[in-house]
């Protein structure tokens, strides 16, 4: 499987597409979403801390999260839970959501085609990017796990995004912050750069992303254009 390095770029040519995850890469939503999810589940008898929510469920679709919760606890969530959770999410994001530091500047400097491929619902992706002023950098090239049969860590979403954008998987580089996303990118035959600069990152995050298959791991968005350009090791 490819790993985007200077040697690979020399052999195959420069990347033709950068695929960004959204939550935890472009917008600092993971701490907010994890807190809201933990509070909502605890209130209905499924006790969970925000950190447990980060550790267990980051990077996978809400549908998969709730299926896991019900399986773990052996009972169904109350009727209307998803709708109430969505309302709480929207209110919290409206009040608190911010772009990751340096993202807007990086996107203005990035000469390559780009798109977003996220486990979130399409409406949520669009709303979060609009709230943070990042939507014009990507619209209309937004892809959601709703559009494919299997979400991350399956490769379906990244392969679908590459196909729609007219790029071969081997010429795509994915920017991801979580293990499921890294695994999905590698399964798709794409290079993947691990980002550990989000508010949910922990001291072990970089090592976990490398172990999952990230070619490089970085913590500041200002580093990304250089990594895409020459594949040098991070300091």
Catalytic residue, chosen from 23, 28, 89, 156, is 23
CB-based contact 191:112 (threshold 8 Å): no
Identify whether the C-beta of residue 215 lies closer than 8 Å to the C-beta of residue 191.
yes
What is the Cα–Cα distance from 86 to 83, expressed in whole angstroms?
5
Catalytic residue (one of 21, 28, 89, 177) = 21
Name the residue with tokens 């990118």.
185
229 is catalytic: no
Respond yes or no: is residue 23 known to be catalytic: yes
Asked if 66 contacts 53 with a C-beta cutoff of 8 angstroms, the reply is no
Three-state DSSP class for residue 99? strand
172: closest CA among 16, 26, 25?
16
Q: What is the DSSP letter of 22?
A: S
Count Cβ neighbours within 10 Å for each residue of 203-216 and write b for 16 or more, e otherwise. Answer: eebbebbeebbbbb
Active site residues: 21, 23
């Amino acid at each position: 499987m490819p790993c985007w390095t200077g040697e690979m770029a020399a052999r195959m040519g420069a990347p033709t597409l950068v695929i960004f995850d959204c939550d935890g890469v472009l917008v600092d939503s993971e701490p907010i979403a994890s807190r809201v999810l933990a509070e909502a589940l605890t209130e209905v008898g499924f006790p969970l801390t925000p950190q447990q929510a980060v550790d267990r469920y980051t990077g996978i679709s809400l549908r998969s999260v709730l299926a896991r919760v019900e399986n773990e606890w052996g009972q169904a969530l109350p009727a209307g839970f998803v709708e109430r959770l969505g309302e709480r999410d929207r209110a919290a994001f409206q009040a608190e959501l911010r772009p990751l530091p340096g993202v807007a500047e990086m996107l203005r400097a990035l000469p390559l085609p780009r798109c977003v491929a996220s486990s979130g619902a399409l409406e949520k992706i669009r709303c979060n990017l609009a709230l943070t002023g990042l939507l014009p950098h990507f619209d209309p090239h937004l892809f959601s796990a709703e559009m494919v049969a299997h979400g991350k860590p399956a490769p379906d979403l990244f392969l679908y995004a590459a196909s729609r954008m007219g790029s071969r998987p081997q010429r795509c580089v994915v920017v991801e912050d979580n293990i499921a996303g890294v695994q999905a990118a590698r399964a798709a035959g794409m290079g993947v750069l691990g980002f550990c600069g989000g508010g949910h990152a922990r001291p072990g995050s970089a090592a976990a992303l490398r172990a999952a298959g990230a070619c490089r791991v970085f913590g500041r968005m200002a580093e990304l254009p250089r990594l895409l350009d020459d594949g040098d090791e991070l300091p």
